Structure 1
């Protein structure tokens, strides 16, 4: 868990989605931007690098708020881009070399990051079930439990080393932790409606990512709230349950 979390939250950085920066000249930057459908650019104004965004009257000085560090973890960059549409990035020599915009959020590295965080949530919840909920099967309907057992038997036939908990679907996890208000152990302020709704949304996002759907079905802000929810559960103190 710790190694995987380190990978998804720290080791994959913003350069995995950033684009190389094209420097435009002052005499034709608007025409060149229009050709490429760019909404932001760096313009060389007499040897000084200046920024230009759609709606500006002319190029403006670059401030620290326009810059993002090249080693910024991807999921932190994601949150920054929700607040501000674009950032410029310097290379190791201090020269402006990259640009990252909100449009870049739909690239594969971030999708992998989202899926990775959801996978961490699944792994964490399954570990909690194994450790603290020996009677978890009572929380599922016969149909859901039968589905898990069918998967388990199929895996055993293929000589896979696996247990029944590993065969639970994501929706099963939501059912188990909503039973007896177990979700309250993560955050006492959580309501059943919020927990169930958020788990359902995460499940839908997981499916959209797994099937490489072009439209994930959620806004970036909604996905950010899901990541916050996942971190809240993973960061909850362990142990968190007393079986009833």
Structure 2
């Protein structure tokens, strides 16, 4: 089947690009904080604070680094706190927990930012940049999150096929939603897209189907309400990215955003292993995910 080629029955190996661990490895090995941080604009410790404040306001910066006479970064200032006098009166020391390496993997950054509004980036022993939650709207982060959520939906599809054999899910959704999926299927097949009717369901429809599956809920230890909230939140993040919103983190509180992605991460790891084990053991339910080598 062309729509989900998961594993070769001859070699016994998964196809490249279908493992969640492979997606994470791409970003762990190749995409790091170095790719999204901003260089740290600095002022001198003896600069007039109001002059510095005017400069920062003009550039719309909330924070700047502070360097000593030897040009070493020794702290930072917040623009809103600057009044009369010199910068030395207002600067704060940078604490160790506020510093992150420029080699930190993108996949690890979300949880680190959960505890801080901003972080200072070091290269070796030198502070070179700053990173905030706003930097998570940059393309590398969007690609990573969208990749996670695309794989998430692929896995949901696989479990619907498993728990609703022979497309018996057709009777579990409203006629209106089924007709809508059939319309989408018709349009896409005209473009020679290789897909199934299930691929044309909205994520909300898939959520409802899995919420009705006792096997799925027991398999992954979901209650009906928890599963519905979880998939709905994941869909909200995906839609923000897919519709090219300016901010993908404005759709829900930050802690909720990170929690949802952590749960997607955990679900994908477990689902990945379950599907691979079943396919290797020749489970009939997963024959559709195999292809010849």
TM range (shorter): 0.7 to 0.9
Change (3 A) 1:9 1:153: farther
Find the aligned partners of 1:179 and 1:142 in 2 and give their Cα distance: 17
Identify the range of structure 1 (131-140 vs 75-84) with the bigger mean alpha-carbon deviation.
131-140
Match of 1:154 in 2: 187
Indicate yes or no: 2:26 matched with 1:26: no
Identify the range of structure 1 (9-18 vs 70-79) with the bigger mean alpha-carbon deviation.
9-18
Match of 1:36 in 2: 56
Within-5 A mapping of 1:195-206: 195-206=227-238
Find the aligned partners of 1:87 and 1:152 in 2 and give their Cα distance: 46
Change (3 A) 1:111 1:219: farther
Change (3 A) 1:112 1:32: farther
* Post-superposition CA distance 1:73-126 (Å, at most 9, x none): 2242122112112222223x5432211123323334323332222112111112
* Post-superposition CA distance 1:175-205 (Å, at most 9, x none): 12101334423532x3211211221222222
Identify the range of structure 1 (166-175 vs 47-56) with the bigger mean alpha-carbon deviation.
47-56
Indicate yes or no: 2:254 matched with 1:231: no
Change (3 A) 1:222 1:57: farther
Unaligned runs of 5+ in 2: 1-17, 82-87, 286-293
Match of 1:49 in 2: 73
Change (3 A) 1:29 1:148: farther
Query: Relative contact order, CA 8 A, sep 6+: which one is greater?
Result: 2
Indicate yes or no: 2:174 matched with 1:141: yes
Find the aligned partners of 1:113 and 1:196 in 2 and give their Cα distance: 23
TM-score normalised by the chain length of structure 2: 0.71
Counterpart among 181, 205, 209 of residue 176 in structure 1? 209
Find the aligned partners of 1:80 and 1:233 in 2 and give their Cα distance: 21
Find the aligned partners of 2:48 and 2:103 in 1 and give their Cα distance: 29
Shift of 1:9: 5.9
Unaligned runs of 5+ in 1: none
Find the aligned partners of 2:30 and 2:163 in 1 and give their Cα distance: 32
Match of 2:128 in 1: 97
**Alignment check: 8 A CA contact 2:76 2:94 kept:** no
Match of 1:15 in 2: 34
Counterpart among 71, 80, 86 of residue 112 in structure 2? 80
Shift of 1:40: 3.2
Q: Determine which structure has more spread, i.e. the larger CA radius of gyration.
A: 2
How many pairs does the alignment contain?
A: 241
Find the aligned partners of 1:9 and 1:154 in 2 and give their Cα distance: 38
Shift of 1:8: 5.0
TM-score normalised by the chain length of structure 1: 0.83
Shift of 1:230: 1.0
Identify the range of structure 1 (176-185 vs 18-27) with the bigger mean alpha-carbon deviation.
176-185
